[in-house]
Structure 1
Amino acid sequence: MDDVNEQGEAVRAPAGNAPQSTGTFWDWIGCEWTEGTEGRVTVSLTVKPRHLNHIGIVHGGVYATLIDSAMGLAVMRSRPDHAVVTTNLNMHYVAPAAIGKLMVTAEIVHASRKLVTAQAKAFGEGGALCALGTGTFRVMEKQGG
């Protein structure tokens, strides 16, 4: 599925990165676009020392960022003509991860006209579930367009 730019033109997600992410927090942290279909998205992160907390495991904020971002992308792909923002994020941290690759898969679980609920799971290199989250997203009209 293609994404839509501000001019309403279809654009394909660049390999290894999310649409329109250059210079954003997503880009700075090192998130990568892996795959996506309508209502489902997978993103990844190669964990580096900067992503770890003082005890040498992935910082909880990194998981929250990845999970929120993946769910947000799933919602945005389902509502390309609208803007969406997170209104609620619930996180559960279940196992530590260290240096390596994290994969996060997000999917929409419910949608109404103005609110969308999604869930996401983060897996470590060995396939172990590390964190999971749910989020609610507000659907709004795009500003200026």
Structure 2
Amino acid sequence: MGRTRTYQWEDPAILAEAAGSMSGIDFLRELQKGRLPAPPIGTTLDMALDEVEPGRVVFSLTPGEEHYNPIGSVHGGVFATLLDSAAGCAVQSTLPQGMAYTSLDLTVKFLRRITVDTGTVRAVGTVVSSSRQTALAQAQLFDATDRLLAHATSSCLLFPVPAPRS
């Protein structure tokens, strides 16, 4: 008999509207406290936003079989998504109301294999530099003993949030 996993998510338009109506750090803190619904990707992968401060965020994920690739370890895309979220949200935590970001690139270095036996992993994202139109962030993925599992850098484009349609 096969294994199954069921989950549900809220309308992502709720988050998009909220993101444009408050500063990046306030938005992330509302997400962290559960006053805004989790983004669909967070629900899909079952990752959590654990820490938020200006220029730094921490996400966590406990690997499960549903994250596996065909050779019995966590798929690199799961690592990359976690690292992309940490780097991007670190940038978001520095943005004023009315500004948003999007990832321009993501460079990931996979250093160790992850399985269910690895236990919970943490992605720590920090802003390296920021200007008016771009930001550079990095993210590191650690296990419970602070072993570095992967590292990423991301360039982000900063832009004004489009005005809501009437």
Task: Please give the range of the TM-score, normalised by the shorter of the 2 chains.
Answer: 0.7 to 0.9
SS state at 2:88 partner: helix
2: CA distance, partners of 1:47 / 1:132:
17
SS state at 2:70 partner: coil
| 1:70 corresponding residue in structure 2 | 86
1: CA distance, partners of 2:130 / 2:31:
27
Report deviation, 1:25: 1.6
1: CA distance, partners of 2:49 / 2:33:
5
Specify the structure having the higher radius of gyration (Cα).
2
Letter paired with 1:49: E
Identity of aligned residues (%): 28
Letter paired with 1:138: L
Identify if the C-alpha distance between structure 1 residues 29 and 140 changes in structure 2 by more than 3 Å, giving closer, same or farther.
same
> Is it true that 1:133 corresponds to 2:152 in the alignment?
yes
| 2:43 corresponding residue in structure 1 | 27
Identify if the C-alpha distance between structure 1 residues 67 and 112 changes in structure 2 by more than 3 Å, giving closer, same or farther.
same
In structure 1, stretches of 5+ residues that fail to align are none
Q: Is the 8 A contact 2:31 2:37 kept in 1?
A: no
Letter paired with 1:80: P
1: CA distance, partners of 2:134 / 2:149:
27
Report deviation, 1:127: 2.4
| 1:113 corresponding residue in structure 2 | 132
Letter paired with 2:146: G
In structure 2, stretches of 5+ residues that fail to align are 1-17
The structure richer in strand per residue is 1
SS state at 2:62 partner: strand
The root-mean-square deviation of aligned C-alpha atoms, in Å, is: 2.1
Q: Is the 8 A contact 1:33 1:43 kept in 2?
A: yes
Q: Structure 1, residues 30-60: CA drift from partner, whole Å, max 9, x if none?
A: 1101101100111101111111112221110
> Which of the numbers 94, 98, 105 marks the counterpart of 1:88?
105
> Which of the numbers 141, 162, 166 marks the counterpart of 1:122?
141
Q: Give the TM-score of the pair, scaled to structure 2.
A: 0.76
Report deviation, 1:23: 5.2
The structure richer in helix per residue is 2
> Is it true that 1:7 corresponds to 2:18 in the alignment?
no
